[in-house]
A and B are shown apart, each in its own frame.
Chain A
Amino acid sequence: MNDFSKQRIINVLAPLTGLALLIGLWSIVSLTSTNNFPSPKDTLLQAIEVFKDPFYSNGPNDQGVGWNVLSSLKRVGVGFGLAALVGIPMGFVIGRFDFMSRMFNPLISLLRPVSPLAWLPIGLLVFKGANPAAIWTIFICSIWPMIINTAVGVQRVPQDYMNVARVLNLSEWKIIRTILFPAVLPYMLTGVRLAVGTAWLVIVAAEMLTGGVGIGFWVWDEWNNLNVKNIIIAIFVIGIVGLILEYALIKIATAFTYEEVKS
């Protein structure tokens, strides 16, 4: 057997072993548990049932898993989009002007470590509604990585490029368009990726608190119904959607990262 095929077997075998380990542990827990912890098999059968009709709707409190995921994604999309609209230009300004950086850095350092859920009551107070409050929470948690990464990217634009801009005497707008933006894009996309990851973590918690339609609310609702199988299904759905978001953004980031200039 050559090294290449050996490597291929390892590539397939290792993840499968990990998966088998998870299912094994899960089976042991469900066999030894006294409080009806569902087995992997029961959960799979239930999952097939759930995914047979993911888009049914029996009123606001009983909708298919598809609707729940979609409305969570919609909240993340709106909150995240607003955060990008505000955060990315702000990152540019902070990175470009020393005064702005000194002005905003203490505020960012103070507010960034705060758990996004702590902002939920403020959102409820100001926006007087569960849905805008959840979007507000997503906005707050996803804005920090975008501001910080964009600002760092702007500060790390190689001095050589800026010297080119100075020798050519380019206008500030032209500098932003042809030098800063492409140079900062990889950093910005890292910020976007971190922000989406956090946003997807936070939306579940936020929806548990606010209710309505959404994957987080679904988890909480099934807990109230004591339907543990659906909770486990929800965990897998949340994980898989998060994985897809992450993967898509990594793909976008690599497409926009240019080979570093080497002399």
Chain B
Amino acid sequence: MSESVNTKYLEIQHVAQTFKTAKGNFPALRNINLTVAKGEFVALIGHSGCGKSTLLNLIAGLTIPTQGHLICANREISGPGPERAVVFQNHSLLPWLTCFENVYLGVERVFGRNNLVDRKTKEDKAQLIARTQAALEMVGLSQAAQKRPGEISGGMKQRVGIARALAMEPQVLLMDEPFGALDALTRAKLQDELLTIVANTQSTVVMVTHDVDEAVLLSDKIVMMTNGPSATIGEVLKVNLPRPRSRVALADDTAYLGYRKAVIDFLYTRQVHVEKV
């Protein structure tokens, strides 16, 4: 793979998104330009209603932009696909399948058939099962494999969602406020796990969040968005903290505090959120 593909793995060019509503057109995003390198961890942060999730849905291919182009690994994004796996805000596990079956669904789709693009031949059932088990083990849920989502806690459900996404070995992992609905302690634990997993898998990650600490702790690059409507990228902050990162060690690290201050400044001084009725 050439150097340019590695540094411009995901490329967003002049993207704008307008939604048609009953009250006329609603401009959600305008003039979004962003590049994400292979293996980079990018956080999208902004006040609610600033179009973070809209941008993530565009990268996922769930919606198509009104203007501009999104390019992933030199190919234009024209729809959703398993190479861009999504961890949804509310985990979106199928309640009638066990945790194992939920993860297996994705594994079977990606590895259970011949892939003409990368000339991979399909794997047999034992290999698919092994992949599923490995993914559940990675998030520490081997014990809960045969339970249904209704029988496990919110944090465990979110971990199954992450396992489902990671098991597909996606080129890009997209996360929409994955820990938003969890309590602070569970959230911290899952953030640490995510750090370890991402370090091991070298995944490219785009994560939507509204948590400043989460953004600084996890990312290489924080994309701060202006308030909507017609939101755009206000500032991009490079986080040059060495990895592996430790939450405890960083707590009184001056560089860490500096990044944290920069994000807070942006969010609460320059982009004061005004809730519209």
Mark contacts of A225-263 with chain B using CB atoms, 8 A cut-off: 1 yes-contact digit, 0 otherwise.
000000000000000000000000000000000111101
Set of chain B residues within 8 Å of A183, measured between Cβ atoms: 96
Can you show 23 pairs from A to B with CB atoms below 8 A apart?
A160-B88, A160-B92, A161-B94, A163-B62, A163-B80, A163-B86, A163-B92, A164-B88, A164-B94, A166-B79, A166-B80, A167-B80, A167-B84, A167-B86, A169-B80, A170-B105, A179-B94, A259-B95, A261-B91, A261-B93, A261-B149, A263-B89, A263-B91
Q: Is A182 an interface residue (CB 8 A)?
A: yes
Q: Is there a chain A Cβ closer than 8 Å to B68's Cβ?
A: no
Determine if A178 and B105 form an interchain contact, defined as CB atoms under 8 angstroms apart. Answer: yes
Residue of A nearest to B161 (CB): A164
CB pair B88–A163 under 8 Å, yes or no, is yes
Residues of A within 8 A of B60 (CB): 167
Contact B90 A170 (CB under 8 A): no
Q: Is A168 an interface residue (CB 8 A)?
A: yes
User: Which residues in A have their C-beta under 8 angstroms from that of B150?
Assistant: 258-259, 261
- Bound-state CA distance A259–B157 (Å) is 14
Distance of A161 Cα from B105 Cα, bound (Å): 13
**Cβ of B140 under 8 Å from chain A:** no
Beta-carbon contact of A260 and B181 below 8 Å:
no
At the interface, yes or no: B154 with Cβ under 8 Å from chain A?
A: yes
* Given contact pairs A164-B88, A169-B80, A259-B95, a sample of 7 additional A-B residue pairs in the complex whose CB atoms are under 8 Å apart: A160-B88, A166-B79, A168-B105, A170-B109, A258-B96, A261-B95, A261-B150
Question: Which among A166, A168, A258, A261 has the greatest number of chain B C-beta atoms within 10 A?
Answer: A168
Of the candidates B62, B96, B109, B149, the one whose C-beta lies within 8 Å of that of A168 is B109
Q: How far is the CA of A163 from the CA of B85 in the complex (A)?
A: 11
B94→A178 contact, CB < 8 A: yes
Report A-chain residues with C-beta under 8 Å of the C-beta of B181: 263
Contacts of A163 in B (CB 8 A): 62, 80, 86, 88, 92
> Nearest chain-B residue to A160 (Cβ)?
B92
A179 to B95, CA, bound (A): 10
Interface residues of A in 180-206 (CB under 8 A from B): 182-183
Q: Is B97 an interface residue (CB 8 A)?
A: yes
- Taking the closest CB of chain A, its distance from the CB of B83, in whole angstroms, is 9
How far, in angstroms, from A167 to B61 measured CA to CA in the complex? 8
Nearest chain-B residue to A261 (Cβ)? B95
Q: For B49, what are the chain A residues with a Cβ–Cβ distance below 8 Å? A: none
Please report the C-alpha to C-alpha distance between residue A95 and residue B78 in the assembled complex, in whole angstroms. Answer: 26
Complex Cα distance, B91 from A164, in Å, reads 10
Q: Which residues from chain A sit less than 8 Å from chain B, CB to CB?
A: 160-161, 163-164, 166-170, 178-179, 182-183, 258-261, 263
Chain B facing A: main interface SS:
loop
Task: Contacts A167-B80, A168-B105 given; indicate if A182 touches B96 (C-beta within 8 A).
Answer: yes
Evaluate whether A167 and B95 lie within 8 angstroms (CB atoms) in the complex, with A160-B90, A258-B148, A261-B90 already known.
no
**Do residues A169 and B81 form an inter-chain contact, with CB atoms below 8 A?**
yes
Question: Once the chains are docked, how many angstroms separate the CA of A263 from the CA of B96?
Answer: 16
Does B82 sit within 8 A of A, measured CB to CB?
yes
- Does B106 sit within 8 A of A, measured CB to CB? yes
> CA A259 – CA B148 in complex, angstroms?
10
Q: Which residues of B contact A166 (CB under 8 A)?
A: 62, 79-80
Known contacts: A160-B90, A163-B62, A263-B154. The answer to whether A168 contacts B106 by CB under 8 A is yes
A182 CA / B62 CA spacing, docked (Å) = 23
- Given contacts A182-B96, A258-B96, whether A167 and B85 have CB atoms under 8 Å apart is yes
Q: For residue A261, which residues in chain B have a CB less than 8 angstroms away from its CB?
A: 90-93, 95, 149-150
User: How many whole Å from A160's CB to the nearest CB in chain B?
Assistant: 4
Write the chain A residue with the least CB distance to B158: A263
Shortest beta-carbon distance, A161 to chain B, in Å? Answer: 6
B92 pairs with A258, CB closer than 8 A: no
Interface string of B104-126 (1 = CB under 8 A from A): 01100100000000000000000
Q: Are A169 and B109 touching (Cβ within 8 A)?
A: yes
Quote the shortest CB–CB distance from A37 to chain B (angstroms): 54
**Distance, CA A183 to CA B97, complexed state (A):** 11
Set B84, B86, B95: member contacting A258, Cβ < 8 A: B95
The answer to whether B94 and A182 have CB atoms under 8 Å apart is: yes
B92: A residues at CB distance < 8 A:
160-161, 163-164, 261
Contact among A170, A178, A263 with B97 in the assembled complex (CB-CB below 8 Å): A178
Please name all residues of chain B whose beta carbon is closer than 8 Å to the beta carbon of A178 when the two chains form the complex: 94, 97, 105
Kindly state the separation between the CA atoms of A166 and B88 in the bound complex, as whole angstroms: 13
Whole-angstrom distance between the Cβ of B234 and the nearest chain A Cβ: 28
Nearest to B151 among chain A residues (CB) is A259
Most buried by A among B62, B96, B168: B96
